Structure 1
């Protein structure tokens, strides 16, 4: 096995490693590492098939046929093993494989990450990985381009990021591995393509000594920049799921908040469902819906639901929590919302393609598409906020994805804004301000005989005590007052859990309830109880206590002079801010790229000017020859100092054909400049530079072309000049 074959195999290995790095990204998409073996096998076998066919120089038709067969084997035995019959593929195997290849990429955009490792989801990463590894290795073995083999892995990397969407994290391991493999691949190809002569052993060594540190110098700043970039949090990342209609749609013309009073007045109360809690955990409520949009008349939800798997996406801002597991058995509950504990992160429920279960990754709400929930049973585990003294020091979440939870319509009555300012003025902490609003609302009269509704008008009646209210109005009032004070708040609809009987809570229509929630860093959505339920049940809460407050709660009065409320932000503001932030993120790399391009152009222009003005006609003739050699380097033709001018010209003619004729005519002038006793005359200098200009025109006939621009920006002549300057004793090229 000669040195060239070893380099080719090393390049194939780097193609496989770079492609495996793209496969590591799917660890944020799948809930477990069960996907990884199939993806790694696809990368390794794809590169191996390309290596066998490329080294033997098989025809492309036969190569593609073998590639398709190889992918089929990997897909059948690595993805669809469950469809085999005694180790042999069946008709079901073929149909599922065909459906997975055609529809798998769409299926991945319909589920909520992290997803279960299912065959119909796994087939797409395996296919992308296979194509990337096979194409990259084929380009490495069949082309001379330095950059082409890394392009397939780069495309696969970008596709994986698209499928991840807004999943948080910087993918450190995958990024480091991809950069190291990709840059090493380019280094190996630069050495192999450039050092075509066996006499270039010293050149190869010097290139390795120079290239390996360069790989580190490029990779380390790139990784560090990725860690501090605003895109690392996932908030401003592009998610293709937002461009598609939601796969799970619910038809609910009536906000669940409006059904609250009707359930409370049912006589006798109707049993809805039973909650069986694991362990000794005690719960006081269970949520079914979260309403985050208020138009001044009613609260609604803007949730979009993706298909839920067993593992559900967690709230990344929720770090101080405990896990509570329960089994929910529904007896007579209207859909589409499914009761859930805290922020659900695991779900075990029977579902099908016709009737999937939807999950909102922005609110933690579960929905079903079944027409009736009667008899539905499922296991659910959720993260419940740990209420501790740290809440007094906690800060509300201010990231862009929660800014929509602070918006209010512009026609908000001045009375509400003035009351919010009055209640929160003396409290130093955010949590204390919210407790002040909560305690004020708990001091209002409670009753079911008041008017229904939770519009601005209903809230004014409640706060001026011209009408009694219930949980519907109190929860809405809290959310409006909290948003007026700048807090990300929403209204939650669900049920109170009363006395526990053994390990179960029995929920009836008389337990229907609504409350408000505010999102805090580290704590997630924290529940606030603005309704005094002492007349209808226990109003206990496990929130931290504070110092006693005045017994007399203030009564809201219309203010004499209040400034008009500011106009609610337009929906496009968040998009505009996101675009500006994305532009700012891209400005850094773009500025560095422009600076690098200008530096390369400046160095080339300065060196050309210095060569033309060198002392002595011999040095000027050699300057023209060196400029011509730089043009060859830009075309990927090696010009090592160990080669004579004639050898360089012969090799250039074999590659460029007649376009290299000016270089052939320049050989006698360069040889005379080095070995002749007398200095060349001015005519020889003029002729040498004239031939150099003619060579440039024949290499790039058009005045404006992409190839000409790429040659002008090619840094290889500059790097070759630096390398030659560190090797005294070699004759100039």
Structure 2
């Protein structure tokens, strides 16, 4: 890496200011994780990583430490911060233990992937916190090192920008414009560019005295660039999170459940159990008393059965909320499972908080698209947990609300292409009179509630079963009614799904004992501002009452339309499932490898860039003697890449002789270049232009003879060899120490 030049007293305050701006820009990237973690408990450690990393780099750079010493200080500083800032729970009387070392090592190597396995907002756990701390430390240390040791204006911004992009990848599709973070990052980055441009452009003491006025003149330009960028970020389609890339979609879900039979098909079996079996108890606190509790949400219909395509991430105590659910009430409940078969956990509305004790390493899974919770335990017997949920507030605004049309919910309007014409015609007939979306859905609901209810009806919810129900050739129960509502709603263009769970009877004290007799299914439609709104298409007057808090609607016709018998329904074909486990594994492996690959590419780019910039400076050095010595130094770098020592204790002729003896005729140009370098150092007169030109011709001839092939592995390896860069740092450190001694 190229030295930034001697440090004079006038430069040191400005270099320290650059280091401070590097730390501020890195802290801005750390603020992004505020949308990943559920609390700000992560922030002090991340800020400490940015400040400490930049400070160590500044001390090492200003004191001209060798790079090995600098890296050791950086690693030691990170370990101390990780032990006492992240894994302090493993300490014994303030001292690290074997558990500290093992957990730290495991978290450093596995934490990159674990952040993609949890559903934001995540708990601030050491195994999740260590990766943001490590990214912040590397970014701050690298940025400050480049600020102190190089003259490239943009170099210190690169590592902070990489950290910013990594944080955005971990956030995925979390909504928000990150206004504070954007303002802080842009202001620090642009100010750093301005300060370095002015400082590095100062050639004389007079220029240095004018630096303050130039900086004040450039500050308005920083504002003019930052303000439009922030305004664009607030209005950009990416601000909502809908069009952002989420790497979690590229990998298989970390929590998988084996549930070959759709929960809707189990409904009849539970209703017919005699005597009814106790499943779980619910104790609700709060003013709002729910009338149902959900197990599963089914979003895919193939004409034969309803299934779920949910992907489950590891759930923490805080759960991701439905951004569309703004009109809601909060309800809290304590649930104790007695004899409920897994894997689904009962939930009230959209779960927001979960406090559950899972034995061992068995995680709880959460679907951020459906609000469904699952457990990986083989048996749920005895499981207890506290749940806070959001229930839709059925107010008058729901009468005028619009169904959600964002891309995430377009799949909830899909129906198979071979849908019987009877169903589509009936959906149009029922919704033709009403003018509001809620009114159209209520028309479908009331038509289905008028149909006969019979638990002993034939099971199944295929197209054929729905046609029999709607033509009144046979009675139905909740399985068919809920499926019919969802199909008719989708045919009318509404995002609908089928929910499976249990009814909750009226309770004066908020305590419920749920049995198999309470098993039920209903339909839900997603509305802007109200989330998933419950519709009850089944009239079980002997078991349940009307849904409370339902908005009033216009009167319905006295005689609902009756569907006519359609032609024979062709059995639908289930579309093949896309993808395979092997492809998913390849995608996962490719993604896991992307982070270290990016770091390797970044390191290689830095090495080649430093070498190219150093060569350009040597050719443009002031004075012919410096240019001749620049050619010799470039030749010495080529020898270093081949493992030939170029110690300062050897003369140029001795180095040339050793190189010819080792490399043979390929090193012959050194025999002619060595006298030119010696004369440039010791001669009384400056070399003329012809001698400078000849020196660089010999250096180019040496490179051609060492690597005659334009493209070869040896040539590429030499370009990426960091030894000449490290040798340059070591030489600069020795020169700095020599100046300090004198």
TM-score range, shorter-chain basis?
Answer: 0.7 to 0.9
Match for residue 407 of structure 2?
A: 400
Match for residue 254 of structure 2?
A: 247
User: 1:295-694 to 2 correspondence within 5 Å?
Assistant: 295-352=302-359, 354-500=361-507, 502-557=509-564, 651=622
Match for residue 183 of structure 1?
A: 190
1:91 aligned onto 2:98: yes
What is the deviation of 1:548?
2.1
What is the deviation of 1:46?
0.4
1:274 aligned onto 2:281: yes
Question: CA offsets per residue over residues 499-549 of structure 1, 9 Å max, x none?
Answer: 315230111101000000000001000000000111333343431121221
Match for residue 180 of structure 2?
A: 173
Does the Cα contact within 8 Å between 1:335 and 1:371 map onto a contact in 2? yes
What is the deviation of 1:464?
0.4
The alignment's C-alpha RMSD in Å is 2.9
Match for residue 714 of structure 2?
A: none
More RCO (CA 8 Å, sep 6+): 2
Does the Cα contact within 8 Å between 2:395 and 2:549 map onto a contact in 1? no
What is the deviation of 1:203?
5.2
Does the Cα contact within 8 Å between 1:51 and 1:141 map onto a contact in 2? yes
Question: CA offsets per residue over residues 342-366 of structure 1, 9 Å max, x none?
Answer: 0000000012563110000000000
Match for residue 17 of structure 1?
A: 24
What is the deviation of 1:658?
9.7
Does the Cα contact within 8 Å between 2:83 and 2:96 map onto a contact in 1? yes
1:109 aligned onto 2:99: no
Gaps of 5+ in 2: 1-7, 580-612, 632-692, 701-742
- 1:359–1:457 Cα change, 3 Å: same
Match for residue 87 of structure 2?
A: 80
Distance in 1 between residues matched to 2:12 and 2:98, nearest whole Å: 42
Count of aligned pairs between the two proteins: 593
Match for residue 588 of structure 1?
A: none
- 1:201–1:46 Cα change, 3 Å: closer
Match for residue 68 of structure 2?
A: 61
Does the Cα contact within 8 Å between 1:193 and 1:636 map onto a contact in 2? no
Does the Cα contact within 8 Å between 1:441 and 1:478 map onto a contact in 2? yes
Distance in 1 between residues matched to 2:113 and 2:98, nearest whole Å: 23
Does the Cα contact within 8 Å between 2:273 and 2:516 map onto a contact in 1? yes
User: 1:70-219 to 2 correspondence within 5 Å?
Assistant: 70-201=77-208, 204-205=211-212, 207-219=214-226
Normalising by structure 2, we get a TM-score of 0.76
- 1:426–1:379 Cα change, 3 Å: same
Distance in 1 between residues matched to 2:507 and 2:454, nearest whole Å: 26
- 1:365–1:137 Cα change, 3 Å: same
SS at match of 1:448: coil
Give the one of 39, 46, 53 matched to 1:46. 53
Match for residue 731 of structure 1?
A: none
- 1:459–1:518 Cα change, 3 Å: same
- Range with greater deviation from structure 2 (350-359 or 408-417): 350-359
Distance in 1 between residues matched to 2:203 and 2:40, nearest whole Å: 43
**Structure 1 ranges of 4+ moved more than 6 A:** 652-660
Distance in 1 between residues matched to 2:126 and 2:313, nearest whole Å: 18
Distance in 1 between residues matched to 2:470 and 2:323, nearest whole Å: 36
Distance in 1 between residues matched to 2:478 and 2:371, nearest whole Å: 22
What is the deviation of 1:210?
3.8
Give the one of 280, 293, 316 matched to 1:286. 293
SS at match of 1:423: helix
Question: CA offsets per residue over residues 115-170 of structure 1, 9 Å max, x none?
Answer: 00111111111000000000100011111111110111100000000110111111
- 1:653–1:128 Cα change, 3 Å: farther
Match for residue 234 of structure 2?
A: 227
Question: CA offsets per residue over residues 84-116 of structure 1, 9 Å max, x none?
Answer: 111111111111111111111111111110000
Does the Cα contact within 8 Å between 1:194 and 1:636 map onto a contact in 2? no
Question: CA offsets per residue over residues 630-659 of structure 1, 9 Å max, x none?
Answer: xx9xx899xxxxxxxxxxx98486887799
Does the Cα contact within 8 Å between 1:533 and 1:539 map onto a contact in 2? no
Does the Cα contact within 8 Å between 2:356 and 2:386 map onto a contact in 1? yes
Distance in 1 between residues matched to 2:166 and 2:345, nearest whole Å: 33
Distance in 2 between residues matched to 1:159 and 1:352, nearest whole Å: 33
